[in-house]
Every structure is written in structure tokens, then in C-alpha cells.
């Protein structure tokens, strides 16, 4: 439940309880649909392993005929789901987070270390830097807020804390909810930053509060990457009311054209000035890093 609430806070358009409620309801529907898809996949695997509809029906608590009627056509039509993968930026961030926890002589890396790791590369790094967050500031705030041992107190490999693992699960849920069903689910740094920053009780959120960072600014900058409703084929639906011309919108963040938000046209797509600016910052950061 905590993971869903974190994902809902990241998805909501504001911290208003009604907006959060809308986000929770949307996530609940998505989780239900994903659960059904998981059952379909398990039934598919059982059939491919040679189990009869009679045996499968017994496990499902229904008759052979009911199991076959419910799943046979669905398995014939639906493709096997594509797995979840982690982006390179996220892998680099997680490795940096574990290294930061080891440097603090800790057995577990918390969400404050994830925050440090997110400054390594990608959209999350560009977002935090735009808000004036640096590694030194995060370290100083973490050592003010939390007690760290001065000497190593454990042997063996550093692992992620329960809170950090819950944040990763929340990021996976958020990525899954926002990925077209025909594509692999790629978890990247924007989802993880959104989850750790919008969880009011997380250590990362406490660090951001200490630094005076407005979480609403983080959500605004990440909007293009975590909050764009998509169709099963990965594009925002262009259909509206019959006979009514739809306003031109950015294909990335979904915002309509306005005096403040200019749009650049491409082949069947648009991109707004804010998304162009964010892309420029990310590319500039990669160039400076020599990548």
C-alpha cells in the first residue's frame, strides 16, 4: 500500500487530497489490470508446460470449461508481456548510492544516498542541479539530520534499506503505470526521484526540506517524464469531441500551445519550449561529462 501511495503522490497534479485520490484510483485500476495480465501469463506458462485445462481450472477454483472459456481466446490474442528493465542512468545512480553509503560506514543505503546517486547522470541530475541541489549540500544536510558512525560497524556488502527498496518498487510501479503496454517497462531516474521526493516521511524528503527545495518544483520539472497519459500504442490520443478541433499539444508533456509555451512541429509530433530547454540541459551535461 505504501508503494502505491508514493506512486500516487508522484503522479498527482498537486498535493490536494482530491488530486491524490484521483491518482490512487487510476493506479488501482492499473494494478488490477496488471494483476489480470499476470494471471494470464501464469496460465499461458502452465499451458505451454503441458498442463490440461482441468488441472488449471482446479487451481483457479473453476471448472475445466470455465477456465477454457475465460482464458483460451485471451491467450491466443494477447502477446506475452515484456519485462521490466532499468535504464543506464538508474543503474549508475544506484551504484553511486551504495558507494556513498559505504563511505558513510553504513550497512544500508537510505533514500538520502539515493538522492546523492541521482546526481550522477540523466534527467534527475539535471532537475536537481536546476534547483540548486549539489552533492556537498546533500551530504551536509544528511549528516545534520542523521546519525552516522565514525568507524565501519559492519562487514560485507552494503545493501539498500527497506525504505530505499520500497522507493525502487514505487518507481517500478510508476514506470509500469506510464508505459504503453506494447513496450518494455524502463525504469529511469525521473521515476525514482519523483517517488523519494514526494514521500513525506522519507529521509530524502527530509533532506530536500532541509535544503529548502519545493517538491512542487520537482514535480513540475519531471512532469514530461512521469505524468503523460498514453494510449496502448504510446501516443496521446488525438480523438476528441466530433467536429471540435483539438488544440495543438506537446507530444512529450501534453501541454497545449500558449503565449508562454511555444511549440515546434515535427513529423506528426510537437515539442514545447520547456521540453526543448530540459533536453538542452541534459545534452549539455552529457557533453561536459565527456559522454
Note whether 122 and 219 are same-domain residues: yes
Q: Which domain does 286 fall in, by range?
A: 247-291
Distance, in Å, from the CA atom of 13 to the CA atom of 220, rounded to the nearest integer, reads 9
Q: How many CB atoms lie within 10 A of CB 168?
A: 21
Q: Which of 226, 255, 283 is the last residue of a domain?
A: 226
pLDDT tens profile 176-230: 776 655 556 788 899 999 999 988 888 999 999 999 999 888 988 888 777 544 4
Note whether 73 and 163 are same-domain residues: no
Q: Which of 41, 64, 81 is the last residue of a domain?
A: 81
Note whether 256 and 148 are same-domain residues: no
How far is Cα of residue 142 from the mean position of the Cα atoms in its chain? Answer: 24
Please give the tally of structural domains in the chain. Answer: 3
Q: Report the predicted TM-score, pTM, of the whole model to 2 decimal places.
A: 0.56
236 in any annotated domain: no
116 in any annotated domain: yes
Note whether 98 and 125 are same-domain residues: yes
130 in any annotated domain: yes
pLDDT value at residue 237: 39
Position 97 pLDDT exceeds 50: yes
Position 115 pLDDT exceeds 60: yes
Position 83 pLDDT exceeds 70: no
Note whether 89 and 77 are same-domain residues: no
Place 7 in a pLDDT band, splitting at 50, 70 and 90.
Answer: low
Distance, in Å, from the CA atom of 286 to the CA atom of 256, rounded to the nearest integer, reads 29
Residue 106 sits in a domain whose CATH number is 1.10.1780.10
Position 242 pLDDT exceeds 80: no
Note whether 52 and 105 are same-domain residues: no
Pairing of strands 269-272, 84-86: unpaired
Note whether 137 and 199 are same-domain residues: yes
26 in any annotated domain: yes
Amino acid at each position: 500500500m505504501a508503494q502505491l501511495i508514493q506512486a500516487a503522490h508522484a503522479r498527482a497534479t498537486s498535493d490536494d487530497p482530491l488530486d491524490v485520490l484521483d491518482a490512487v484510483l487510476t493506479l488501482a485500476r492499473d494494478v488490477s489490470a496488471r494483476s489480470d495480465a499476470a494471471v494470464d501469463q501464469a496460465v499461458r506458462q502452465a499451458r505451454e508446460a503441458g498442463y490440461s485445462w482441468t488441472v488449471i481450472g482446479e487451481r483457479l477454483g473453476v471448472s475445466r470449461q470455465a477456465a477454457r472459456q475465460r482464458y483460451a481466446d485471451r491467450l491466443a490474442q494477447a502477446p506475452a508481456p515484456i519485462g521490466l528493465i532499468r535504464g543506464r542512468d538508474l543503474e549508475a545512480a544506484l551504484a553511486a548510492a551504495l558507494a556513498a553509503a559505504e563511505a558513510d560506514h553504513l550497512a544500508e543505503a537510505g533514500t538520502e544516498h539515493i538522492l546523492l546517486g541521482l546526481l550522477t547522470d540523466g534527467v534527475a541530475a539535471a532537475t536537481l542541479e536546476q534547483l540548486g541541489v549539489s552533492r556537498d549540500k546533500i551530504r551536509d544536510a544528511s549528516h545534520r539530520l542523521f546519525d552516522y558512525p565514525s568507524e565501519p560497524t559492519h562487514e560485507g556488502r552494503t545493501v539498500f534499506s527497506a525504505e530505499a527498496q520500497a522507493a525502487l518498487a514505487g518507481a517500478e510501479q510508476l514506470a509500469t503505470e506510464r508505459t504503453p503496454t506494447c513496450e518494455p517497462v524502463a525504469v529511469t531516474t525521473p521515476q525514482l526521484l519523483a517517488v523519494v521526493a514526494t514521500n513525506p516521511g522519507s529521509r530524502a524528503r527530509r533532506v530536500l526540506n532541509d535544503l529548502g527545495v519545493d517538491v512542487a518544483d520537482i514535480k513540475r520539472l519531471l512532469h514530461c517524464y512521469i505524468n503523460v497519459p498514453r494510449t496502448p500504442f504510446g501516443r496521446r490520443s488525438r480523438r476528441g469531441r466530433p467536429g471540435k478541433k483539438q488544440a495543438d499539444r506537446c507530444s512529450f508533456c501534453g501541454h497545449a500551445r500558449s503565449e508562454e509555451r511555444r511549440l515546434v512541429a515535427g513529423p506528426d509530433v510537437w515539442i514545447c519550449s520547456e521540453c526543448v530547454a530540459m533536453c538542452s540541459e541534459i545534452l549539455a551535461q552529457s557533453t561536459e561529462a565527456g559522454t
